[in-house]
Structure 1
Amino acid sequence: MKIKCIVVDDEPLALEMVSNFVEKTDFLELKGRFDSALEALGFINSHEVHLIFLDIQMPDLTGMELARVLDNRKGQSTPKIIFTTAYNQYAIEGYKVDALDYLLKPFSYEEFLTASQKALRHFQKNSQPEKASSAEDYIFIKVEYQLVKVLLKEIILVEGYKDYVKIHLSGKTSPLLSLTTLKNMEEMLPESQFMRIHRSYIINLDHIQSISKSTVNMGVMNISVSDGYKENFLRFIDKWIN
């Protein structure tokens, strides 16, 4: 799927950087770039826009004021917002206008990509702007000094340690190692396909081989369902059996 985006920032260097980030991300489509929130509002009123990368401190109309104007519409076609700002004091206000994320300048492409993937999951979940095909269901994982594209259907399970995770993939003898947390992985992976069943494990429901009373066989290993996650897992079993 392609998410139609605009970038709004009155700082030329920031406007250029974020626009370049959008253009190098294959599920984003740059439809416009503006150094004025008023100009951006005029564009939004006459064009289809799904996502705005929005600075806050701008003359005439601030990014937060633009966000409030859009939030008051409460319509199906209202664009979602990812704030890009040098000021962290606006984070709470950002959540009040239902912003998807809040990127604090200076931010890296990896941070930008993580926020963008959050937007992708939002639109896929809500069937906006179009239904995603299975071929596009993927995430990017940081492995050593590069970002690796991983298809969701190939992930068997994710095994969490203190400061990193192991991602077990079908057809691969060795797991991918990534310096991130299991909580971050849980936020990246769609709930419809993945489930956390233990403080140290997230499983891909499509790769379950068999289920016993309190254990799940994933092919590569057996995993015990811990008490804190058992209720959610039992609801899944009921649907599976029925």
Structure 2
Amino acid sequence: MRALVIDDELPAREELLWLLEQCPQITGAEQAEHARDAIARLEEGPAIDVVFLDIDMPDINGVRLAQLWRDRLGDRAPAVIFVTAYQDHALDAFNLDATDYLLKPVRLARLKQAIERAARRLDVAPATDDAAASPAGPTASTPLTRISVEEHGAYRVIPVDAILWAEAEEGFATVHTAEASFLTDFSMKFLEENLPAEHFFRSHRSFIVRLDAISHIAPTGAGTYRLLLGSEERAVPLARSRAPELKARIPWSANALEE
């Protein structure tokens, strides 16, 4: 898919273009600073499949621009993904049948989800295994050493050895450190596959825990346990089906905890 990034702020365009380079389904990306340039580009030259559109622009509001495309291009209009720092245009995006609505700063995992939605809408084949295997992100052989999370409009870098546990929350992962908790747009699957396997353990469908943060293993009945991370306030569940693997990772003595 060919993409067009439209934003009047150069740093925002450059950041999004850099992220798009890491998305195998994007075969090329162009940029436009002004709405008039974007209109000219869409009406001329090679077809654009998906547009990443800022809403608050000085010449033509992004919502109005999307309406113009739909009126002028009809079925040839590209998929539109709004990219904005504000949530108050979400209803407008819904009414325009936008493909997705991303909040700045954009995270790679969330961007890839939006691109998948655009691909399904445009009936584009998924990225090939070769493309997916390219160095676009961490792999099992190169586990993460740090992640970044949005904090007050900037990115805060967190070493993975500072993560105590992560838990699922409405499809995304909240990461907990000793200091604070951070809602991310990573999926639990992404974290499980990319955090160092020798240090992290999926204790439950909704929880991943750092093994050396576990201080106690407390039975709760019916073959389930609570993993205490230094205090009663910091505890994650251990599912019965996951207990045998944890016993292999952290052996506990004979039948001391068995019922």
Q: Superposition pairs for residues 106-145 of structure 1, below 5 Å?
A: 106-123=105-122, 126=123, 128=124
User: Amino acid of the residue matched to residue 33 of structure 2?
Assistant: D
> Post-superposition shift, 1:84?
0.5
User: Amino acid of the residue matched to residue 92 of structure 1?
Assistant: L
State the TM-score, normalizing by the size of structure 2: 0.50
Query: In structure 2, do the counterparts of structure 1 residues 162 and 51 end up closer, same or farther at CA, with 3 Å as the change threshold?
Result: closer
Moved over 3 A (4+): 131-147, 161-167, 176-181
Q: Superposition pairs for residues 56-67 of structure 1, below 5 Å?
A: 56-67=55-66
Separation in structure 1 between the aligned mates of residue 203 and residue 82 of structure 2, nearest angstrom: 27
Separation in structure 2 between the aligned mates of residue 106 and residue 133 of structure 1, nearest angstrom: 25
Q: Which residue of 1 aligns with 2:87?
A: 88
Q: Structure 2 regions of 5+ residues with no counterpart?
A: 148-166, 174-187, 191-200, 207-259
Provide Cα deviations, 1:149-207, integer angstroms capped at 9, x if missing partner.
xxxxxxxxxxxx9668679xxxxxxxx969997xxxxxxxxxxxxxxxxxxxxxxxxxx
Q: What SS does the corresponding residue of 1:82 show, helix, strand or coil?
A: strand
Q: What SS does the corresponding residue of 2:105 show, helix, strand or coil?
A: coil
Match of 2:27 among 14, 26, 29: 29
Asked if the contact 1:141/1:178 (under 8 Å) is kept, the reply is no
User: Amino acid of the residue matched to residue 67 of structure 1?
Assistant: A
Aligned residues: 159
Separation in structure 2 between the aligned mates of residue 4 and residue 43 of structure 1, nearest angstrom: 12
Q: Which residue of 1 aligns with 2:212?
A: none
Query: In structure 2, do the counterparts of structure 1 residues 177 and 41 end up closer, same or farther at CA, with 3 Å as the change threshold?
Result: farther
The structure with the largest alpha-carbon Rg is 2
CA RMSD of aligned residues (A): 4.0
Q: Structure 1 regions of 5+ residues with no counterpart?
A: 148-160, 168-175, 182-242
State the TM-score, normalizing by the size of structure 1: 0.53
User: Amino acid of the residue matched to residue 40 of structure 2?
Assistant: G
Q: Which residue of 2 aligns with 1:52?
A: 51
Separation in structure 1 between the aligned mates of residue 43 and residue 114 of structure 2, nearest angstrom: 25
Separation in structure 1 between the aligned mates of residue 75 and residue 57 of structure 2, nearest angstrom: 27
Q: Superposition pairs for residues 1-242 of structure 1, below 5 Å?
A: 3-47=1-45, 48-73=47-72, 75-123=74-122, 126=123, 128=124
> Post-superposition shift, 1:109?
1.5
Asked if the contact 1:4/1:51 (under 8 Å) is kept, the reply is yes
> Post-superposition shift, 1:63?
1.0
Q: What SS does the corresponding residue of 2:69 show, helix, strand or coil?
A: helix
User: Amino acid of the residue matched to residue 115 of structure 2?
Assistant: S
Same amino acid, percent of matched pairs: 27
> Post-superposition shift, 1:120?
2.1
Q: What SS does the corresponding residue of 2:120 show, helix, strand or coil?
A: helix
Q: What SS does the corresponding residue of 2:3 show, helix, strand or coil?
A: strand
Asked if the contact 1:166/1:178 (under 8 Å) is kept, the reply is no
Query: In structure 2, do the counterparts of structure 1 residues 135 and 38 end up closer, same or farther at CA, with 3 Å as the change threshold?
Result: same
Provide Cα deviations, 1:135-156, integer angstroms capped at 9, x if missing partner.
5897999997799xxxxxxxxx
